[in-house]
Amino acid sequence: MKERTLAILKPDCVRKNLTGQIIARIEAAGFKILGIKKVRMTKETAGAFYAVHKGKPFYDGLVEFMSSGPCIPMALEKDNAVVDFRNLIGATDPKDAAPGTIRKDYADNKGENIVHGSDSPENAKIEISFFFSEKELLENL
């Protein structure tokens, strides 16, 4: 069954000019891009997106980082999208990520780890709607 997930190419990915390489890997893994845009989150926007982490030790640094430059949110679709995307990107900390994953290959550290991926189908719906209206999501025919 088709499922959706949100990916965000984070400011470090954009800054390092890796967006094309990462998008190519995502598409090669069978994901369809339903929506894509380049945005610059403010601290308020980043804080709202990551509100679930408010109060955790890494929250302030995460908000600061995610508002430090442009990022590229993408709504993705494929069978088993959430789990498959998290397997493609690897563990949050690149030193713990499996060889061949995006974070292992490109991320510098746990705080600047190239890409965000939704952690559940339920959160994917919420996260996708944060960046995209339903009419912006185009099915690949």
Q: Which residues are catalytic?
A: 116
Could you give the angle at the alpha carbon of 116 between the alpha carbons of 119 and 11, nearest 5°?
165
Q: How far is CA 95 from CA 7, 90, 103, in A?
A: 21, 10, 9
> What is the C-alpha separation between 124 and 42, in angstroms, rounded?
21
> What is the C-alpha separation between 81 and 86, in angstroms, rounded?
8
